[in-house]
Amino acid sequence: MHTGFLLLALLTLASAGAAMCLRNLVHCALCVAISFVSLAALFLTLDAEFVGFAQILVYVGAVAILIVIAILLTRDISGHGQSLVFKPWTLGVGVGALVAGSLVSAVTSSAFTHRELPPAPAATVRQLGESLMTTYVVPLEIIGLLLTAALLGAVLLARRENEGGGRS
């Protein structure tokens, strides 16, 4: 369990890092997909089956494919192969190390981590669905609105404007 977690966490982080640093956009997209898969595996090791499978279906199945299609359709940006690594990179790594260090030291020195954990609840998909439609129906509705706004914004920002007024 413990080594499994370490391996998966390393894989997630490494592929996420590679997705940011690689020059070829298609490789980046693949690394993102690997990162999504290992996250899904992490969920599965936590006995959160539904979230794990949803992660595979939605992120690996839909989002990663969507990214690849977006790269295919906007061919001209994939040609330059510009790396987006920020220079001087020491600054970014330093800040990252600082944040990670304070997080790790907080977790290790916290009194909360040394307590008995309650048994993990075994939530079925049915229970999840029921609480989404009752207790958490308001956040669910808000997410619906959020997606509407995101959709509108995506169409609006991505569409090509025709010069000189009038609608296409």
Partner 1 sequence: MNAFSYLDLLNLLGPETILVLTSLAALFVDLGALRDQPLPRRWLAGGGVTALGGLLAILWLTNVTAQANLAHGILVVDPLTQLVKVVLVAMLLFTVALSLRAEFTEHVGEYFCLLLLATVGMMFLVSSEDVLTIFVALELTSLSLYILTAFNKRSLVSAEAGLKYFLFGGVAAAFTLFGLSLIYGLAGSTNLREIATNLAGKGTDPLLMVALIMVVMGFGFKIAAVPFHLWAPDAYQGAPTPAAALIASGSKVASFFVFAKVMALGFAGIEGNGAWRQFAPGWVPVLATLAVASMLLGNLAAIAQSSVKRLLAYSAIAHAGYMLLGLLAMSNPHRRADGMAALVYYITTYGLTTIGAFGVVQIVERTGGDSLENFAGFSRRAPLVAVCLMVFMLSLAGIPPLAGFFGKFYLFTAAAGAEPGNLGLLWLVIFAIAMSAVSLYYYLQVLKRAFVAAPAEAAIAPVVSFMERLTLALLALAVVVLGALPAWLLGPIADAIKAAGF
Give the dihedral of Cα atoms 154, 156, 160, 163; nearest 10 deg: -160
Q: If binding is defined by CB under 8 A, does position 120 make contact with partner 1?
A: no
**Neighbour count for residue 167 (Cβ, 10 Å):** 4
Number of residues that bind partner 1 (CB under 8 A): 32
Q: At 3, list the tokens.
A: 């080594």
Burial class (CB in 10 A: 0-12, 13-18, 19+), 39: buried
Give the C-alpha separation, 34 to 22, whole Å.
14
Q: If binding is defined by CB under 8 A, does position 136 make contact with partner 1?
A: yes
- Residue from 110, 124, 125, 129 touching partner 1 (CB under 8 A): that is 110
Cβ proximity to partner 1, 24 vs 105, nearer residue? 105
- Residue from 1, 73, 84, 111 touching partner 1 (CB under 8 A): that is 111
Residues lying near partner 1 in the complex (CB under 8 A): 102-103, 105-107, 109-113, 131, 134-139, 142-143, 145-146, 148-150, 152-153, 156-157, 161, 165-167
